[in-house]
């Protein structure tokens, strides 16, 4: 262990992890990654109906924000329905007291687990010493884990992080986290400073599994980065030993990625348009004017892909300023019969 601060640590006996619903999941299990402005209660409910992952996680939620003047906005991230279980609430913050109180609240609200974000690389957050900055401040990371455990003693505690901040610290950082006795560790195979620029390093993720086995702890290891299908989930499990795999951006390419038999590309056009309509309807039922329409528009690219005329329809849909005009556009639209606008992929402009 060469992490600068780890030598002075003295941990109590490691608890028998994992606890709660994690214990009963199949191997490999799959998780829909937390994604801000994407994996809200609306999208999670729809994904639960179309092809559900084994586990859902909320968007990251500020522990300090929960107890600030902006509470009503922040707490909307913790809105959920029974359809979304098992559901883990992801928290981020700096002050362990805030993490303690937020974890208490998460337990009171009936979530199935608490996840601590120690991976987000966004500058304005890292600047405050939160999220991926904790990789360089392990003592605070440990305090947060202990605070979450005290605040939510009935819930399993997980951490989602990266291989390092500027340089790879996989071994020292993962050892440090595993020694705290967390139930689950999600390792996104990139450095914080690299954001999402380079491919995820699954060999490094495999090292975390080896470490866990050498240490004899039972923390589950979830690998994350660049996985696009259930076949890949199984490959990663076999080749790299992870217990579970988290899929994030893969859901944009295939919103039914967790369905064992289906693939978005192969769905009939009517079904693709029905999925979009369901999303718009539920979005406005749940959020009304509370969340801006432009957040909803980000999803147009997800649904309006892979059929003739998709590109032109998407461009027109992007011009709509509200639900009524968007629904009117979809009602009037008929697919082109000629070849001018061939089926598009999510990577088309």
Separation of alpha carbons 181 and 291, rounded Å: 38
Residue 194 found at the interface with ligand FMN (CB under 6 A): no
String of contacts with ligand FMN for each residue 41-60, x by CB under 6 A: ------------------xx
Q: Which is nearer to ligand FMN, 178 or 200 (CB)?
A: 200
Q: Which is nearer to ligand FMN, 155 or 273 (CB)?
A: 155
- Judge whether 120 counts as a catalytic residue: yes
Closest-approach residue to ligand FMN (CB):
248
Residue 120 found at the interface with ligand FMN (CB under 6 A): yes
Residue 250 found at the interface with ligand FMN (CB under 6 A): yes
Separation of alpha carbons 98 and 248, rounded Å: 27
> To the nearest whole angstrom, how small is the minimum distance from the Cβ of residue 81 to ligand FMN?
19
Q: Please state, as a whole number, how many other Cβ atoms lie within 10 Å of the Cβ of residue 274.
A: 13
Q: Say if CB 293 and CB 321 are below 8 A apart.
A: yes
Q: Which is nearer to ligand FMN, 136 or 226 (CB)?
A: 226
Which has the closest alpha carbon to 113: 65, 79, 156, 163?
A: 156
Separation of alpha carbons 211 and 206, rounded Å: 9
Residues 225, 241, 306, 309: which binds ligand FMN (CB under 6 A)? 225
Catalytic residue among 10, 120, 130, 131: 120
* Alpha helices in 68-201, H assignment, sequence order: 71-75, 96-108, 123-126, 138-151, 170-179
Residue 121 found at the interface with ligand FMN (CB under 6 A): no
Residues 223, 248, 255, 309: which binds ligand FMN (CB under 6 A)? 248
- Whole-angstrom CA distances from 139 to 11, 17, 98, 279 are 12, 21, 16, 42
Task: Give the residue numbers annotated as catalytic, written as ranges.
Answer: 120
């Amino acid at each position: 262990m060469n992490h600068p601060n780890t030598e002075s640590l003295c941990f109590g006996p490691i608890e028998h992890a994992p606890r709660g619903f994690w214990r009963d999941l199949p191997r490999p299990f799959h998780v829909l990654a937390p994604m801000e402005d994407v994996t809200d209660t609306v999208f999670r409910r729809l994904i639960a109906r179309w092809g559900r992952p084994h586990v859902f996680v909320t968007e990251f939620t500020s522990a300090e924000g929960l107890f600030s003047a902006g509470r009503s906005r922040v707490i909307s991230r913790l809105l959920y329905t029974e359809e979304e279980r098992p559901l883990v609430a992801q928290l981020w913050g700096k002050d362990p007291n805030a993490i303690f109180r937020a974890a208490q609240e998460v337990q009171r609200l009936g979530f199935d687990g608490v996840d601590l974000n120690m991976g987000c690389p966004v500058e304005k957050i890292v600047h405050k010493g939160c999220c991926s900055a904790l990789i360089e401040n392990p003592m605070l990371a440990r305090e947060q884990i202990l605070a979450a455990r005290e605040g939510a003693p009935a819930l399993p505690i997980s951490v989602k992080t990266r291989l390092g901040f500027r340089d790879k610290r996989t071994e020292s950082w993962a050892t440090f986290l595993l020694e705290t006795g967390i139930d689950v560790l999600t390792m996104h195979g990139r450095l914080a400073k690299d954001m999402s620029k380079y491919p995820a390093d699954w060999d490094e993720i495999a090292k975390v599994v080896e470490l866990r086995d050498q240490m004899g702890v039972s923390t589950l290891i979830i690998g994350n980065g660049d996985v696009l299908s259930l076949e890949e989930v199984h490959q990663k499990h076999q080749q790299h030993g992870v217990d579970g795999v988290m899929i994030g951006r893969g859901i944009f390419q295939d919103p039914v990625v967790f369905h064992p038999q289906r693939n978005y590309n192969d769905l009939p056009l009517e079904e693709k348009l029905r999925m979009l309509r369901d999303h718009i309807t539920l979005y406005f039922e749940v959020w009304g004017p509370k969340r801006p329409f432009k957040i909803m528009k980000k999803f147009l690219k997800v649904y309006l892909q892979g059929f003739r005329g998709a590109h032109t329809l998407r461009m027109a849909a992007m011009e709509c300023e509200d639900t009524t005009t968007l629904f009117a556009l979809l009602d009037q639209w008929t697919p082109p019969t000629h070849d001018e606008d061939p089926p598009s992929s999510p990577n088309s402009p």
